[in-house]
Amino acid sequence: MKQIICALFLLMAFPAGALAQDWAETGKTVGMVLAEATKNAAQTKNIIATEKRDVAAEKSTLKQSINSKQKRFDSLKVRYDELLKKEKALQEELAAQAHELKTIDGTIRTAAKQARDQFHESLTTPEHPERETVLGEVLQPGKFPGLKGIRDLLTLYLDEMTASGAIVRRTGEFIGPDGMDKTGELVRIGTFTEAYRLKDGTLGFLRPASDGTKLMAVQGEPGWSLSSEMNDFFDGKGNVFPVDISNGAAFTRLAQEQKSTWDWLSAGGLLVWPIILVGFVAMVLVIERFYSLSKIRGNSDRNMKKILGMVSEGEWRKCRDFCREQSSFPTCRIIGHTLKYMGNTREIIENAFQEGLLKELPMLERFLPTLNVLAAVAPLLGLLGTVTGMINTFQIITLYGTGDPRMMSGGISEALVTTQLGLAVAVPIMILHHILERRVDKIIGDMEEKGTGFAVALMKKGQIRKREELDAAA
């Protein structure tokens, strides 16, 4: 079509003469152009028809694909809705079991912490250094241990149970009593007793170190009897081995027995020395009282018999000289004082006797009240030392907490040293005070008895007058 329009345009542009001359050629050219245009038009129609068929086929294919995808979409949407419902149900179930899961996690972690504390004090831990890694994985924060962690934890407990019934001989390292690393023969009895023997024959028991990864020697020697049994067991000659079922308490006691008296006193603090001073002063006073009272002769029956004989015969001057010579006897001193009041009433004689007795009492009872006071002061000082030590212990607890009970019990035991010492001082003082007091009471009773007998003898001899006679004589 385009070619025809171009031919017409050319005809219009040329003059008529030229058109007449070349008409044949132009017609021929136009025919050729028309034929070409017709041919191109036919080809174009064929192409369009082919493309229409291809488009229709592609449209049909796309429609089928869309229908298939729509069906798949609908199916996936239904599946998605089902999964949403299932997710919601699972979330509700998980929320319902969250407390239970939290409880299980807390139980597992608590058991792992207890296992860690137990294994730090176990004699088997140095043989199994991998325990710390396993417990670290179980106690990892923010992560549920899972079945593997639970299985590993149970395995550790089962291994410990198995080790509790086994006897193990091996060569291993440990920290010696001097703090240096040693290597020797080791014997472990269950999980509560382990001992070592060095090449030089030194024997001892072992306890876990503070970190639980090493063994350290217990201070103190086992003694001859235990050493003999231990050597026989190490040499394979005996089947008896000393064990400690107190988890180290007996070994601690063994180490404490090695402490000197000075260490024991130093553990009590400053108030130990006042208690010792009280005991020293009381001992000096007790020695003085025993010495003084031993010089007083309490058995005056024989002297009293002589005095009564002189009184019955009226030998008053001789009686006074005898009492002066026997002045080491309290009874003789009192009777000598009473003889000065002969010839007076009975009341005067008795008062004279009481006066002489009162003069003797201060010397006989000297320092006894002081001993009584010292016996009461000693335990009070011990109690004061204990209270002071307890205050210091609670101050330490305030600063460092109660993570280590041994630290607290050690402070309390040291605080009780003063009470122990105070009672140890007070009890002997009280017993000795009672003995001295009974001795004084015996001497006083003897003097009262003899004084009463002397007054009766004077009355028989007529040396005691009635008040009416004295008034008449006056």
Q: Model confidence over 54-111: pLDDT tens digits?
A: 888 888 888 888 988 988 898 899 899 899 999 888 888 877 777 777 788 788 888 8
In a shared domain, residues 318 and 464? yes
Residue 359 lies in a domain: yes
pLDDT at 374: 93
Which of 14-28, 135-149, 189-203, 343-357 holds the top average pLDDT? 189-203
pTM: 0.46
Q: How confident is the model at residue 406 (pLDDT cuts 50, 70, 90)?
A: low
pLDDT over 70, % of the chain: 77
In a shared domain, residues 277 and 369? yes
Residue 129 lies in a domain: no
In a shared domain, residues 253 and 332? no
Residue 314 lies in a domain: yes
In a shared domain, residues 277 and 206? no
> Using CB atoms within 10 A of its CB, is residue 389 exposed (0-12), middle (13-18) or buried (19+)?
buried
d(CA 33, CA 25): 12
Report the amino acid identity of residue 64: Q
Which residue reads 């003694």 in tokens? 223
Q: What is the distance, to the nearest Å, from the Cα of residue 395 to the centroid of all Cα atoms in its chain?
A: 15
**How many domains would you assign to the chain?**
3
Task: Answer yes or no: are the C-beta atoms of 353 and 448 closer than 8 Å.
Answer: no
Tell which of 257, 289, 305 closes a domain: 257
Which of 257-266, 371-380, 415-424 holds the top average pLDDT? 371-380
Residue 293 lies in a domain: yes
Closest CA to 196 of 226, 213, 173: 173
Tell which of 257, 289, 304 closes a domain: 257
In a shared domain, residues 39 and 176? no
∠ Cα 197 203 208 (to 5°): 80
> Using CB atoms within 10 A of its CB, is residue 67 exposed (0-12), middle (13-18) or buried (19+)?
exposed
In a shared domain, residues 66 and 171? no
Residue 139 lies in a domain: no
Q: 236 or 393, which is more confident?
A: 236
Q: 332 or 110, which is more confident?
A: 110
In a shared domain, residues 297 and 437? yes
Residue 143 CB coordination number (10 Å) = 11
Task: Answer yes or no: are the C-beta atoms of 187 and 195 closer than 8 Å.
Answer: yes
Q: Is the pLDDT of residue 330 over 70?
A: yes
Tokens representing 63 are: 């429609």
User: What is the span of the domain harbouring residue 96?
Assistant: 2-108
Q: How confident is the model at residue 471 (pLDDT cuts 50, 70, 90)?
A: very low
Tell which of 89, 108, 127 closes a domain: 108
Task: Answer yes or no: are the C-beta atoms of 218 and 205 closer than 8 Å.
Answer: yes
- Rounded to an integer, the average pLDDT of 108-123 is 81
d(CA 145, CA 135): 10
In sequence order, what are the residues at sequence separation of 6 or more whose Cβ sits closer than 8 angstroms to the Cβ of residue 330? Answer: 296, 300, 360, 364, 443, 447
Residue 127 lies in a domain: no
Per-residue buried b or exposed e for 167-196, using 16+ beta carbons within 10 Å of the residue's own CB: eeeeebebebeeeeebebebbbbbbebbbb
Q: Is 131 helix (H, G, I), strand (E, B) or coil?
A: helix
In a shared domain, residues 388 and 240? no
Q: What is the CA radius of gyration of the chain?
A: 60
Average pLDDT, the chain: 77
Q: Is the pLDDT of residue 373 over 80?
A: yes
In a shared domain, residues 423 and 358? yes
In sequence order, what are the residues at sequence separation of 6 or more whose Cβ sits closer than 8 angstroms to the Cβ of residue 257? Answer: 220
Residue 207 lies in a domain: yes
Residue 373 lies in a domain: yes
Q: Is 226 helix (H, G, I), strand (E, B) or coil?
A: helix
In a shared domain, residues 251 and 276? no
d(CA 246, CA 465): 84
Q: Is the pLDDT of residue 41 over 80?
A: yes
Q: At 445, give phi and psi (nearest 5°).
A: -60, -40
Q: Is the pLDDT of residue 305 over 70?
A: yes
Q: Is the pLDDT of residue 369 over 80?
A: yes
pLDDT at 248: 59
Say if strands 215-217 and 193-197 run parallel, antiparallel, or are unpaired. unpaired
In sequence order, what are the residues at sequence separation of 6 or more whose Cβ sits closer than 8 angstroms to the Cβ of residue 191? Answer: 122, 123, 124, 160, 163, 164
Helix axes 272-295, 368-400, angle to 10 degrees: 170
- E strand or H helix at 182, and its extent? strand 181-189
d(CA 100, CA 143): 16
Q: Is the pLDDT of residue 254 over 60?
A: no
Tokens representing 280 are: 């020293």
Q: How confident is the model at residue 256 (pLDDT cuts 50, 70, 90)?
A: low
